[in-house]
A = this chain, B = another copy of it.
Amino acid sequence: MKKLINAPEAVLAEALVGIAAAHPELNVDHVNRIIYRGSPTREGKVALISGGGSGHEPLHGGFVGLGMLDAACAGEIFTSPTPDQMQEATRVADSGAGVLHIVKNYTGDVMNFEMAAELAEAETGVKVASIVINDDVAVEDSTWTAGRRGVGLTVLLEKIVGAAAEEGRDLEAVTALAHRVNDNGRSMGMALTSCTVPSAGKPTFDLPDDMMEIGVGIHGEPGRHRVALAPAASIAQQLVDPILADLDFTQGPVIAMVNGMGGSPLIELYLMYGEVARLLETAGVNVARSLVGNYITSLDMAGCSVTLLRVDDELLGLWDAPVNTSGLRWGV
C-alpha cells in the first residue's frame, strides 16, 4: 500500500489537522471530528448537517460554508460517524430554526442519524428533519444498504438545499425541497480499479486488468456487473442508459455531473463529459448546468460516476446562488 499517511489508524485525525491549518475560515472540533463554519449559524437560518464515512473528500467537509452545509461529521474511512458526533453537531449548529440531516442511504448512516435526531430532540429540544438520499440506479440493496445507495446527487442536493436555507426558508420548506431534489436525481458509477482502505492495507476488491465494474458503489461495493474494459464512449453509454431508463429527463433542463472517483485524472473526466454530453443531446436531454471533477470520491479508485438532476427555474436559481466552500465556490 502506497499512501501519503503516517499510520492507518491516524489518517482521519491527521487529515483534520491539515484541513484546520488550510482553512482558517472553518472551525474543526478535533475531539468530535466535526467541521463547522467559522461563524455560528445565523439566527433564523435552518442548519444543514451532513456526514458519513471519510474517504469521499471533498464531500462532506469540503462543502461546509456559506450556501451549503453548516457542519459535517467525519466518520472513520468508509465508516459511519457515531450518533454522538451527529448529536453534538446538531446541538451546536442549531440557531433555533431547526436542523436538516442530509443522509446518504447506507444502513449505518441512516441508523446513527435517526438515533442522533431522537437524542437531540429529546435532550435539547432541537427540531430535526432528515432527508435520506438514494439516487444510485445501479442496484437495489447492496453490501451496506437496504434500497438504493446515496451517491453523487448528494453534492447537488447540498448545494441547492443549502442555498434555500441561506435564503431563510423554514425547516418544513427546506426539507420538502430536499425531497424534491432527491426525487428528481439519479446516478450511476463505475470503477476501473479498486480503492485501498488504509486500515485494510490492500485493495477492497480484485478487478482483472481487462475488466471494469459497472454500477460500483462509492466504497467499492459490487455494482450491476463486471464487464470487459471498453472505450469511454461505451462506458458513458453504460452509465447514461440506466439513468435515462429510470427517469424521464427529456421534459426540462437538467444539471449534469461527471464525478471522478479519486484516481482518474481530470483530462479523462473531461473526455468522459464530452461523451456524456453527446449522449444526452442525442437523447433530447437539455443540459442547463454541468460540473466536472472530483466531488464525491472513493479514495484512490479510478473511475467515474454520472449524475443527472431535473431542474426548473427555481432549482437553477438555487444552484446559481453564491456558495463559498473549499469544494464548490462561486458568486462570492
* A interface residues, Cβ below 8 angstroms from B: 2-7, 11-12, 14-22, 54-55, 57-58, 62, 77, 192-193, 209, 212, 229, 231-233, 235, 262-275, 277, 287, 290-292, 294, 297, 299-300, 302-304, 329-332
Does the CB pair B2–A270 fall under 8 Å? Answer: no
Does the CB pair B14–A271 fall under 8 Å? Answer: yes
Residues of B within 8 A of A271 (CB): 4-6, 11, 14-15, 17-18
10 contacts between A and B (CB under 8 A): A2-B229, A4-B269, A7-B231, A11-B271, A14-B232, A16-B270, A18-B269, A19-B270, A22-B277, A54-B267
- In the bound assembly, the distance between CA atoms of A20 and B273 in angstroms comes to 10
Quick one: which of B267, B287, B329 contacts A11, CB cutoff 8 A? B267
Q: How many copies does the complex hold?
A: 2
- In the bound assembly, the distance between CA atoms of A23 and B7 in angstroms comes to 40
Residues of B within 8 A of A54 (CB): 267
Does the CB pair A192–B4 fall under 8 Å? Answer: yes
- In the bound assembly, the distance between CA atoms of A272 and B22 in angstroms comes to 11
Most buried by B among A5, A192, A266: A266
Residue of B nearest to A264 (CB): B4
Whole-angstrom distance between the Cβ of A29 and the nearest chain B Cβ: 16
Most buried by B among A2, A262, A263, A264: A2
Residue of B nearest to A195 (CB): B265
- In the bound assembly, the distance between CA atoms of A263 and B12 in angstroms comes to 19
